[in-house]
């Protein structure tokens, strides 16, 4: 290797990704992962959820996607998110005639969010350290969003309060976006999720496996 190539390689080493400042989102996520002050609450909630969901191994396997070979929580989130987003689109561009359909979609999103949250909890009870903290805040954000959408559905019963219902849905959608980002972090950045060992290149992997699960 000549001197020019050596100099170029050195520049790549010193000015590459490792030397660049991390994006704000990454720094915030690392701070959340290290937020040990959450552990008292998180551990208590996790023990309660684990006690409820591990009482029936068959049910736990179903909630974690045993019949389909991998976690069912991520695809299930499409139903409430899609319903709520569609409702807001109708609210903003559909006019008065679209109001009944928008309310129906808000209600559908609320109903479908309940089993979705249960499958997410089934995944979360096996996490630890930073993953359990992010998962807890993810659940809180989603629960807050669900409460806001439920309130939106309720107030829409009164036509004169339709505007309030629209505002509640939009605010809840923003909160759901935060929850969705945290969920994406867990599934993509941290690879959280059960899967059949046929998909894992590791000898002796358990029947339902996640690299971050105890």
Q: Can you tell me the distance from the alpha carbon of 26 to that of 16, in angstroms, rounded to the nearest whole number?
A: 17
Radius of gyration of the chain (CA): 22
- SS3 of 181, please? helix
pLDDT, residue 182, reads: 97
pLDDT of res. 211: 56
Residue 210 is predicted with a pLDDT of: 62
CA atoms of 109 and 192, how far apart (whole Å): 24
Which structure tokens are listed for 169?
């849905």
User: Comparing C-alpha atoms, which of 79, 101, 80 is closest to residue 90?
Assistant: 101
The H helix count followed by the E strand count for the chain is 9, 0
pLDDT per residue of the chain (214 residues) written in tens, 0 to 9: 455 444 444 444 444 555 678 899 999 999 999 999 999 999 999 999 999 999 999 999 999 999 999 999 999 999 999 999 999 999 999 999 999 999 999 999 999 999 999 999 999 999 989 999 999 999 999 999 999 999 999 999 999 999 999 999 999 999 999 999 999 999 999 989 888 888 877 666 666 656 555 4
Query: What values do phi and psi take at 146, rounded to 5?
Result: -60, -45
pLDDT of residue 207: 60
**Nearest by Cα to 211 from 126, 103, 145:** 126
What's the pLDDT at 71? Answer: 93
* Measured torsion, CA atoms of residues 187, 188, 190, 196, in degrees rounded to the nearest 10: 60
């Amino acid at each position: 290797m000549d001197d020019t190539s050596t100099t170029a390689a050195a520049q790549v080493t010193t000015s590459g990704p490792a030397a660049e400042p991390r994006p704000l989102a990454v720094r915030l996520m690392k701070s959340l992962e290290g937020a040990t002050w959450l552990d008292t609450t998180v551990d208590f909630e996790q023990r309660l959820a684990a006690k409820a969901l591990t009482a029936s191994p068959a049910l736990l396997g179903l909630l974690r996607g045993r019949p389909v070979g991998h976690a069912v929580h991520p695809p299930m989130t499409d139903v409430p998110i899609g319903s709520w987003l569609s409702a807001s689109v109708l609210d903003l561009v559909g006019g008065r005639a679209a109001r009944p359909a928008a309310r129906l979609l808000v209600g559908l999103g609320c109903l479908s969010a309940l089993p979705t949250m249960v499958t997410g909890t089934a995944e979360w009870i096996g996490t630890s350290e930073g993953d359990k903290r992010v998962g807890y805040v993810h659940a809180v954000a989603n629960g807050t969003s669900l409460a806001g959408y439920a309130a939106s559905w309720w107030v829409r019963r009164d036509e004169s309060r339709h505007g309030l219902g629209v505002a509640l849905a939009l605010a809840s959608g923003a909160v759901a976006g935060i929850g969705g980002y945290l969920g994406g972090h867990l599934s993509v950045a941290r690879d959280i999720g059960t899967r059949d060992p046929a998909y894992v290149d590791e000898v002796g992997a358990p029947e339902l496996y996640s690299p971050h699960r105890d």
